[in-house]
Amino acid sequence: MVCAGDVLSKGIFPSVRWPTQHIAPIVPVVFAAGNHEFYHSSIHECLRQVREASAHPNLHFLENDVVKIGDVAFVGGTLWSDFRLFGRDPQVAMSYARSGMNDYKRIKLSKTPFLKFKPIDAFRKHIETRDFIACELRKRRGQKSVVVTHHAPSHVRLPAGFVTIRLRLATPRIWKTSFVRQGPPCGCTATFIIETITSLAQQG
């Protein structure tokens, strides 16, 4: 089972508990956190704790990670925004996001030391995940790979009036994501099928 996040909004543990208890004993579970998993919590501590506590051999948590199940490699992470949709000035987009998005009011980057989560942190995390995915796909060129991210890699096939991060080219043939408003409910996955596999690059 692939779960691409936004299951609950009280930290990662409640979101992974149910699939760990009920699905992982039967089939492997691949889980990438959504932004809501970090609400009322902190990113650094949540990621550290979930890695330390993910003891079930069939629960695979991805945050710049890869796991191979059979002959298929699952690569991914949350994939935050780079604020460059359609080449717009990311500084302007980040300014609007900081004052208008709940992520930057409800998420902490760290509890100790206390650090607020800011758009620049999301931008840096986007770059980390984008580069990790690109590197892993290059290493696995010609092999079976599925990318799992919470945020979508492209505006293509998203509902009219709503767009997310745009990547210029490269993806694997299958990319699982859950952040699609007015489409599948949060916690479910949408599938992007991209026929041309080249190199991963940001728009801008």
Residue 201, in any domain of the structure: no
Residue 76 lies in a domain: yes
Report the pLDDT value the prediction gives residue 177, as an integer from 0 to 100: 60
Q: What is the pLDDT of residues 152-178, one digit of tens each?
A: 776 554 554 444 334 333 445 555 565
Residue 35, token pair as written in the block:
């932004």
To which residue do tokens 């992470």 refer? 77
Residue 81, φ and ψ in degrees, nearest 5 = -80, 150
Residue 198 lies in a domain: no
Q: Residue 160: which residues within 8 A CB-CB, separation 6 or more?
A: none
> What pLDDT is recorded for position 192?
41
Q: With 0-12 CB in 10 A as exposed, 13-18 as middle and 19+ as buried, what is 185?
A: exposed
Domain annotation covers residue 179: yes
Helix (H) or strand (E) holding 68: strand 65-69
Residue 30 lies in a domain: yes
Q: Tell me the one-letter amino acid at 180.
A: V
Strand, helix or coil at 145?
strand
Decide: 186 and 36 in contact? Cβ < 8 Å. Answer: yes
Q: Bridge partners of 75?
A: 66, 147
Q: Is residue 199 part of a domain?
A: no
Residue 203 maps to a domain: no
Confidence of residue 16 (pLDDT cuts 50, 70, 90): confident
Convert the pLDDT of each residue in 101-144 to its tens digit: 999 999 999 999 999 999 999 999 999 999 999 999 889 888 88
**What is the tens place of the pLDDT at every residue in 22-49?**
889 999 999 999 999 999 999 999 999 8
Over residues 56-74, mean pLDDT = 92
Is 110 within 8 Å of 42 (Cβ atoms)?
yes
Domain count, the chain: 1
Distance CA 27, CA 163 (A): 33
200 part of a folded domain: no
Rounded-to-integer distance, Cα 9 and Cα 26, Å: 26
Q: Which domain holds residue 42?
A: 2-193
Q: Residue 59 corresponds to which tokens in the numbers above?
A: 């629960």
